[in-house]
Structure 1
C-alpha cells in the first residue's frame, strides 16, 4: 500500500497495456462522434515510485468511436528513453528526449504528439504506438509547452518553450502544415513557471505567477512559491516583430496553471480567465503532488476562477475572482479560442475541508449562471472535451466527453454529455478503470494521416 496520493485511489497506475474491442454503449452515440478521444496520464511502471506526480511516465488511453459504435479502447505507454530509466540531466546537459510525455496529447498537421513541457514532443501513431521525438525538422532546439494553441482561423500552432535559465522564454509559430515559420526570444521574461498561455486574435498573452525556479526543491521538479517573485501578465502583439513590443503588467500574487481563454473585448482590452491559487492553495496542491506529510485531501482545493482585464491604453489591470467553486482544467468550444466566448467548462473539486464533490461545470459568462453535473460518489471525471454537434448554430451546440474513474466499481466509463444542459447522452463502458490523468483531445477522423482502424 503506497503512501503517495498520486499512486492511490483514482490515480492508481495500471500495470499493463491492453486492447479491447466492441465496447458496450448505453444510450445513443451521436454519429458525428467519429474519431478518437485520447487522454494522457502519469502512469509509472510497476515497482517505480516517482518523487513527484509529474515525474510519472506518460501513458495514453484511446477510445475509438465511429458512427454510433465504440469500436475500441487501448492504452499504451509513451516509449521515451525516460520510460527505461534514462536521466533528464546528463554530463552533456539536458536530454530533451528523456521525457515523461505524460501531460497532454494533441493533433496538428496530421501528427499526434504527446507532450511534457520540459522536453521535445513525442509523435505517436493513430493506434498510440510510439514513433519517436519530434523536433519540427530540427527547428525546435529546446523544450515545448504542453499547452500549444491551434488558431481556429489560420490553423497555425502557437507554442512556447520555457526554461529556468536564459533565455527564459521562446515563442514559436508553426503553420498549418506543421512547419515552424517563426521563433523569437521574449525579452523581460523571468524564471517564473510558465505552464500555459493564451492567444487572442491579435495578441499572445503570457502569465508569470509567484511560482519560480527553486534549486533547493529536491522533488525532481525544481519550482516553488516565492513571495519575492513578481506576478505579471505579458501582452505581445502577434506577428514577426511582436516580441520586441511585449508589455508586462503587474498583478496580484498567485499562480495560474491553465488558461480558459483570452480575447479582445469591444474596447480593445485583453480579457483573460483561468483558475488560480494563492500561496496556501499552491502549497496544498504541492504537498499532494509530492506526497508530503500534512498534505491536503485533494489538489486544486483553493483553485478559483479569476478574470484579468488588461487595458492597454491606460496601462492598468483590473482583476477579480469571479466564482467561489474550486475548479481546474478549463475548456471551451475551441472554435472560439482567442475570441469572445459565452460558455466555458471545468472540473470541480472538493474544497480544503473536504466538502463538495467532483463534477463537470458549465459557466454562462453572459448571465453568470453556473451549472454542475454531479458524477456521483467516489467518481472523478476527467477534463471535459467539447465536440461540436453536426449543424451546430449556437456556441454550446455539442457534446462534452469525460472519462470517469469509479472507485466503488473499480471501473471507468466515457460519459457523453449534452453541452447545452449537461444531460447524459450516452455512456461507454471501458474494460478497465482508467488512471485519472491530466489533459486530452478529441481527434475527428480525417485529421490523422492513415491508421484509421
Structure 2
C-alpha cells in the first residue's frame, strides 16, 4: 500500500489499488448473518492495474463480492473487469485520433447493477460490461448492437414497470444527451436525442412514476484541455444550471427546462411526483473543479429541489449542513414518495490531506425531519452502504444496510451488516475479509 505523502490521495492509504485477485471460502463471521440474505453483495471501484492513474475516476474497474447463504458467508472474491485496458493498461482513455465514446473502450469502474438476468458493470463514457455470477468477465453488452452511444453508470430500475431508464452523454456534436429505455426483459426499446447546448458531465439523473429529470449543470468538457493532457472538465459558471423535466412515456415528449442556482450534483438521493410538482433530493456541491483541477475542493450537502411545473420555477432548500455522499434508498421506492434515506457523511474535500475516508452512515427520516448515525469508531472507515429490504416487509426501513468498512489498524476490510431500523446500534454481523477493499464507488445487493 502506498503511504507516501507526496502521492495523490487516490493512490495512497486505502485508496491505493490491490493487485491480487483473491478467492476465499467460508469466511469468519462475527455476530449472525440474517438467514434471509441469500445472494451477493457486489461493489465496483477504480483499481489501476499499473498502480498509477491521473485521477480517482480513471482507474480500472474491480469488483469485490461476498456471497451469503443460509446465515453463512460462502465466499469473498475480487476480480478486475477485463476490458481492453486489462491487456493494454497504458492505452489512452480518450483516443483523440478515434474519439469513439460508444466503443468498448471502457474502464467499467463505477457501478454494478443487475437487470433482466444480467450483471452489468457501468462507466458513463461507454457501453456496459457484463460479468457472471462468479464475477468473471463475459464481455461488452450493447443490447444486441442497438446501443448507439454511451450508457450512464446510474440507470434507474422502475419498481412499477421493471424498466431500466437511463441516458448517455457525449462530448462531440451534434448529440450531447440521449434518453434510453430498456424493457423489463432487457431489450433497448428507445433512444431519444435531447438537445442541450454544451458537453456537460451528467453523472446521474432522476425519475418519477411519470417523468425523467435531467441535470444540465456547469461542469463542462473541454476538448482542447483533453488534447493537452490536462483536466478536461471545469466548472463554467456562465454556462448556467438547469433541470429538464420530461414525460417518460411519450415518444414525442418535450423537455421543460427550469433554471436553478449554479451547482454540481454527482448523486441525487431520490425524486417523486406530487401532483404538478416534482421533488428531488440531492447531494449538492456549490461548485466542482472551478479551478480546472481535479481536486474535490467543496463539500456536498443535502438539498431539496421543488419543481413547480405549472409556474415554471424551482424552490431550492437546504435540508442538512453536514457533508454527505453516496445516498441510497430502498429499491422499491425509487422514483416514488419515500421516508428514509441513507448516506455516508464524508467530506471529499479533506481526502487530499488524509490517508483515511473517515465518516459515519447517516439515516434520514425525511417525514419527521430528523436524522441519526452509525459510527464505527476511530480508525474504521465506511464506504457506500446499500439498503436491502427484508422479504415480505411492509415497513420501508425493515431490512438491512450492507457495506464495506476498512480497519486501519488491521489494514483489512469487512462486510458490515446493520439493522436499518436501529440506527446507532452495533452491527448485527461482520464478515471478515482476507484483504482490504480499497475505497471505491457503488454497489448492489443481488438476490439469488
Question: Could you state the TM-score of these two structures normalised by the residue count of structure 2?
Answer: 0.92
Match of 1:439 among 430, 439, 442: 442
Tell me how far 1:167 sits from its aligned partner: 0.3
In the other structure, the counterpart of 1:369 is 370
1:194 matches 2:202: yes
Instruction: Pick closer, same or farther for the CA change 1:300–1:31 going to 2, 3 Å.
Output: farther
Partners in 2 of 1:283 and 1:359 — Cα distance? 28
Rounded Cα–Cα distance in structure 2 between residues aligned with 1:377 and 1:12: 20
Partner of 2:255: 246
Q: State the alpha-carbon separation in 2 of the partners of residues 363 and 348 from structure 1.
A: 11
Deviates more, 1:78-87 or 1:216-225: 216-225
How far off is 1:23 after superposition?
0.4
The answer (yes or no) to whether the contact 2:64–2:76 under 8 Å persists in 1 is: yes
CA distance in 2, matches of 1:92, 1:282: 27
Q: Distance in 1 between matches of 2:289 and 2:435?
A: 32
The Cα of 1:48 is off from its aligned counterpart by 3.8
Give the aligned partner of residue 149 of structure 1: 156
SS in 1 for 2:261: coil
* 1:308 aligned residue: 305
Q: Residue in 2 aligned with 1:44?
A: 48
Contact kept? 1:215, 1:223, Cα under 8 Å:
no
In the alignment, which residue of structure 2 is the partner of 1:223? 233
Question: TM (normalized to structure 1)?
Answer: 0.91
Superposed displacement of residue 383, structure 1: 1.0
Structure 2 residue aligned with 1:259: 268
- Residues 140 and 375 (structure 1), Cα distance of their counterparts in 2 relative to 1, 3 Å cut: same
**Structure 2: runs of 5 or more not aligned:** none
Q: Do the aligned partners of 2:286 and 2:298 also contact (CA within 8 Å) in 1? A: no
Among residues 94, 102, 105, which one is paired with 2:109 in the alignment?
102
In 2, the alpha carbon distance for the partners of 1:93 and 1:209 equals: 23
CA contact (8 A) 1:347 1:361 kept: yes
| Residue in 1 that maps onto 2:433 | 430
- 1:133 corresponds to which residue? 140
Equivalent residue for 1:324? 321
Q: Distance in 1 between matches of 2:369 and 2:99?
A: 49
Bigger mean CA offset, 118-127 vs 206-215: 206-215
Partner of 1:203: 211
Residues 351 and 94 of structure 1: CA distance in aligned 2, closer, same or farther (over 3 Å): closer
Q: Offset at 1:268?
A: 2.6
In structure 1, distance between residues paired with 2:278 and 2:391:
32
CA 1:352–1:138 in structure 2 vs 1: closer, same or farther (change >3 Å)?
A: closer
Cα distance 1:91–1:110, how it changes in 2: closer, same or farther (>3 A)? Answer: same
Question: Which residue does the alignment assign to 2:73?
Answer: 70
* CA contact 1:36–1:63 (8 Å) conserved in 2: yes
The separation in 2 between residues aligned to 1:220 and 1:113, in whole angstroms, is 30
1:183 is displaced (CA, Å) by 1.4
Structure 2: how far apart are the matches of 1:390 and 1:148? 23
Contact 1:52–1:220, Cα closer than 8 Å, also in 2: no
- SS of 1:245's partner is coil
1:217 to partner: Cα distance: 3.5
Choose from 76, 79, 83 the match for 2:82.
79
Other structure's SS at 1:228 match: helix
User: In the alignment, is residue 12 of structure 1 matched against residue 19 of structure 2?
Assistant: no
The aligned counterpart of 2:341 is 344
Which residue in 2 is equivalent to 1:449?
none
Q: Using the alignment, how far apart are the partners of 2:358 and 2:45 within structure 1?
A: 21
* Structure 1 pair 8–351 and aligned structure 2 pair: CA distance change class (3 A): closer
Is 1:28 matched with 2:32?
A: yes
What residue number does 1:451 align with?
A: none
The 5 A counterparts of 1:398-437 are 398-422=399-423, 423=425, 424-437=427-440
Deviation at 1:344, TM superposition (A): 0.5
CA-atom RMSD in angstroms: 2.0
Cα distance, 1:164–1:36 mapped onto 2, change above 3 Å = same
Specify the alignment match of 2:97 in structure 1: 91
Give the superposition deviation at 1:282: 4.5
- In structure 2, how many angstroms separate the alpha carbons of the residues matched to 1:91 and 1:232? 33
Contact 1:26 1:427 in 2 (8 A): yes
**Residues in 2 aligned to 1:187 and 1:433: alpha-carbon distance in whole angstroms:** 44
Q: CA deviation at 1:189?
A: 5.3
Distance 1:114 1:221, change over 3 A: farther
Deviation at 1:283, TM superposition (A): 5.0
Give the structure 2 partner of residue 168 of structure 1.
176
Q: Does structure 2 conserve the Cα–Cα contact (< 8 Å) formed by 1:187 and 1:246? A: no
Gaps of 5+ in 1: 446-453
Q: How many pairs does the alignment contain?
A: 431
Instruction: Tell me the CA shift for residue 220 of structure 1.
Output: 6.4
**CA–CA separation in structure 1 for the residues paired with 2:230 and 2:421:** 42
